Amino acid sequence: MKPVKREEMGQVVGRILRETPITDVHTHIYPAAFGDLLLWGVDELITYHYLIAETFRYEERPYEQYFALPKRRQADLIWKTLFTDRSPLSEAQRGVLTVMNKLGQDVRTRDLSAIRQFCDSKGVDEYIDIVFKTAGVKEVVMTNDIFNPQEFAVWSKEPKLDPRFKAVLRIDPLLSLDPTAISLLQKTGYAADAELGGDSVSEIRRFLKDWMLKMDALYVAASLPPTFRVPEESLRSRVVEECVLPVCRELNRPFAMMIGVTKRVNPPLGDAGDAVAKADIGTVTYLCQKYPANKFLVTMLALENQHELAVTARKFRNLMVFGCWWFLNNPSIIDRMTRMRLELLGLSFIPQHSDARVLDQLIYKWDHSRRLIGGILAEKYLDVMETGWEFTEEEIRKDMADLFSNNFWRFLERK
């Protein structure tokens, strides 16, 4: 194939990226079989916890008054506060409008009735197809928290999974030996206790292995505080080294560490009440170094951790850096992180995940990221072309497939 012309690079990369089916490696969405665990439709989109936090920057009423409102009234309040009363310039605000626009709504009306009618007219299966097609997403990886009774109940019925949805075993409550986690293990026949006494270590390993296989979970995941340290004199450190890593090694599946969340700094805000602080890269280095037969998917939440995480990935091939997570999933930061990662890691990382909690978000999170990351990649190709090097469309297409799908599956050694 003939090389891409300099003056066409931006347009070629943009087109190829739009045509590249996405593997979204971390989301909170579910297939229809999971019932109302799947959030979808414009009222869920508008009441996303990012927008709740942004609304209370202006709204004086008590938090509980908002949460007591019916969902549609909550959406009306957020729409008025963040869209009618002032310009919607935040990334989450822009995202709502991107979704509405891509779903054919004329946002100039500034009116929710038409988009509500559109959503109300669709069944969930049809809506999943519409969103996946509009977003250009081929498959998503879920966050399956079996310590949530609602989700446990679904898995107990052995749901037939829509192949576009891949499972992951999320273990936050187990890592903290939370009473709900311990009681679930005990109730389901695993003799573990909160002090790791008796056969707890082997029983937690057995639980992890049984559930990884039952769900065919692609990886084990946990969100972790900035204080997360291994090794340290703590039960959490022991559960990681004595339970999680041996099972992940045996099953050849990564441990995904999402590090840097300070949970519920403002508890009444619920999911909107979490924040961020700089975490310890030394723990990532220790784990990658001590456990070369384990694979680690890592994303960190603090901007201050990003350079050291990318440098650490240069040192350890069992470390795969992924995504611009949560408070980093904003154009100004995605731009800086992606340039740095390309410059330090070449194509050996996973640039983005959506973290979508509401199905519709796949549309905006991937539209925004494709545009931004595509522009950066085009610049990088042009920088290299300054040397006389040339690129074909075929080579660029392979690069995009690696960044947005194959790097993940190759790291898992699946597919």
Tokens (6 digits) for 200: 């707890």
Strands (E), 136-213: 137-141, 165-166, 169-170
Measured from the CB atom, the residue of 262 and 406 that comes closer to ligand HDL is 262
Measured from the CB atom, the residue of 228 and 316 that comes closer to ligand HDL is 228
What is residue 166's DSSP assignment? E
Q: Which of residues 199-238 bind ligand HDL (CB under 6 A)?
A: 223
The count of other CB atoms within 10 Å of the CB of residue 8 is 12
How many positions of this chain bind ligand HDL (CB under 6 A)? 9
Strands (E), 116-254: 137-141, 165-166, 169-170, 220-224
Measured from the CB atom, the residue of 10 and 225 that comes closer to Zn ion is 225
Q: Which helix (H) or strand (E) holds 259?
A: strand 255-259
Q: Which does 152 bind (CB under 5 to 8 A by kind): ligand HDL, Zn ion, none?
A: none
Closest chain position to Zn ion (CB): 355
Per the CB < 8 A criterion, the answer to whether 260 and 302 are in contact is yes
Q: Which does 271 bind (CB under 5 to 8 A by kind): ligand HDL, Zn ion, none?
A: ligand HDL
Q: How far is the CB of 363 from Zn ion (least distance, A)?
A: 18
Q: Which of residues 345-374 bind Zn ion (CB under 5 A)?
A: 355
The Cα 285–Cα 99 span in angstroms is 39
Q: Provide long-range contacts, Cβ within 8 A and 24+ apart, for 364-368.
A: 364/94, 364/95, 364/96, 364/98, 364/99, 364/102, 365/95, 365/135, 365/329, 366/22, 366/24, 366/135, 366/136, 366/137, 367/98, 367/102, 367/135, 368/91, 368/94, 368/95, 368/98, 368/331
Tokens (6 digits) for 197: 């006494």
Measured from the CB atom, the residue of 44 and 402 that comes closer to Zn ion is 44
Q: Which residue among 44, 91, 151, 355 contacts ligand HDL (CB under 6 A)? A: 355
Per the CB < 8 A criterion, the answer to whether 25 and 141 are in contact is yes
Report if residue 353 touches ligand HDL, rule: CB under 6 A. no
Q: Which does 326 bind (CB under 5 to 8 A by kind): ligand HDL, Zn ion, none?
A: ligand HDL
Measured from the CB atom, the residue of 28 and 380 that comes closer to ligand HDL is 28
Report if residue 271 touches ligand HDL, rule: CB under 6 A. yes
Report if residue 330 touches ligand HDL, rule: CB under 6 A. no
Measured from the CB atom, the residue of 53 and 373 that comes closer to ligand HDL is 53
Q: Which residue among 166, 253, 353, 357 contacts ligand HDL (CB under 6 A)? A: 357
The Cα 415–Cα 410 span in angstroms is 8
Q: How far is the CB of 357 from Zn ion (least distance, A)?
A: 8
Per the CB < 8 A criterion, the answer to whether 363 and 131 are in contact is yes
Report if residue 326 touches ligand HDL, rule: CB under 6 A. yes
Question: Where along the sequence are the contacts to Zn ion (CB under 5 A)?
Answer: 355
Question: Where along the sequence are the contacts to ligand HDL (CB under 6 A)?
Answer: 28, 143, 223, 258, 271, 274, 326, 355, 357
